[in-house]
């Protein structure tokens, strides 16, 4: 068994082969087949790993198309059309967003949250103000979010600056939550390390007892944020990965509409 070292990483080599000798496809089970161009003579080294090989896991996108002439001048109005189509299609969690934030050092993190409101001011979501996302937003108030609706072969990317909503807005939304979710907002020290599941359930039970027979008010460390968009991108999947991408950029208080290459 040969060994190959590159940038301090040592891997086990199965066999050195030439490009002309490689078969068109590989069936590797749980073995990840990787290739290194080792020399000018096109030698390729195949080495083993422990991850799965999913190179054939794909599908074509052929439902619809998207042209600049199809979209409205205002991206909020265009988003409203697409979001309502996702809702009317009865997709699961059409308001789910992948929200990406980062530290002041640029270290990113992402998670799925639920959009609870949108209008011409922006996209709103609610969370614990002591969570990791909240700590990130204190360091860097800019964020990105993605809506992905695979059944419609669509996604929407949105970028902008995030700020807290008013306490009155947070209070109004909090009162629409189910009682168990209200208790959960009090009980969960979000993003903190906890010893076990029982610890969390006991906190929930303790707060249920504390609030029994009373109105559950919003915790002071819990509330809403709103992302004010400076960029929208509407993505429609197309055949052969030649996807349609229409971008809106806010330039001098006006929306510039451009097509992007896929």
Q: What is the largest CA-CA distance in the chain?
A: 79
- Which of 97, 152, 133, 144 minimizes the C-alpha distance to 223? 133
Contacts of 78 (CB under 8 A, 6+ apart): 71, 72, 232, 234, 248
Q: Is 241 a catalytic residue?
A: yes
* Catalytic-labelled residue, pool 18, 172, 241, 259: 241
Residue 185, φ and ψ in degrees, nearest 5: -65, -35
Half-sphere exposure of 65 (CA within 13 A, CB side): 7
C-alpha 114/C-alpha 50 separation (Å) is: 34
CA 27 to chain centre: 31
Instruction: Give the residues across from 104 on adjacent strands.
Output: none
Sign for the pseudo-dihedral over CA of 198, 199, 202, 208: negative
DSSP character at residue 32: P
CA-CA distance, 167 to 122, in Å (whole number)? 17
CA distance 166 to 225: 9
- Residues belonging to the active site: 241
């Amino acid at each position: 068994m040969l060994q190959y070292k590159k940038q301090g990483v040592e891997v086990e080599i199965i066999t050195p082969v030439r490009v002309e000798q490689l078969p068109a496809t590989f069936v590797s089970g749980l073995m990840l087949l990787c290739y290194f161009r080792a020399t000018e003579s096109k030698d390729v080294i195949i080495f083993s790993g422990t991850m799965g090989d999913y190179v054939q896991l794909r599908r074509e996108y052929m439902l619809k198309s998207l042209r600049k002439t199809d979209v409205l001048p205002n991206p909020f109005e265009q988003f409203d059309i697409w979001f309502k189509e996702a809702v009317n299609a009865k997709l699961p969690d059409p308001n789910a967003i992948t929200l990406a934030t980062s530290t002041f050092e640029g270290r990113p993190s992402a998670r799925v949250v639920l959009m609870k409101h949108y209008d011409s001011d922006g996209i709103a979501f609610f969370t614990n103000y002591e969570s990791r996302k909240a700590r990130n937003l204190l360091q860097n108030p800019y964020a990105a979010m993605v809506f992905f609706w695979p059944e419609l072969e669509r996604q929407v990317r949105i970028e902008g600056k995030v700020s807290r909503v008013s306490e009155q807005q947070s209070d109004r939304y909090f009162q629409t939550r189910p009682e168990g979710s209200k208790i959960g907002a009090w009980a969960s020290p979000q993003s903190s390390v906890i010893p076990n599941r029982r610890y969390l359930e006991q906190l929930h039970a303790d707060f249920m007892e504390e609030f029994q027979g009373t109105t559950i008010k919003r915790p002071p460390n819990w509330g809403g944020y709103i992302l004010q968009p400076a960029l929208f991108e509407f993505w429609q999947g197309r055949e052969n990965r030649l996807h349609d991408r229409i971008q809106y950029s806010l330039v001098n208080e006006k929306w510039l509409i451009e097509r992007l290459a896929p």
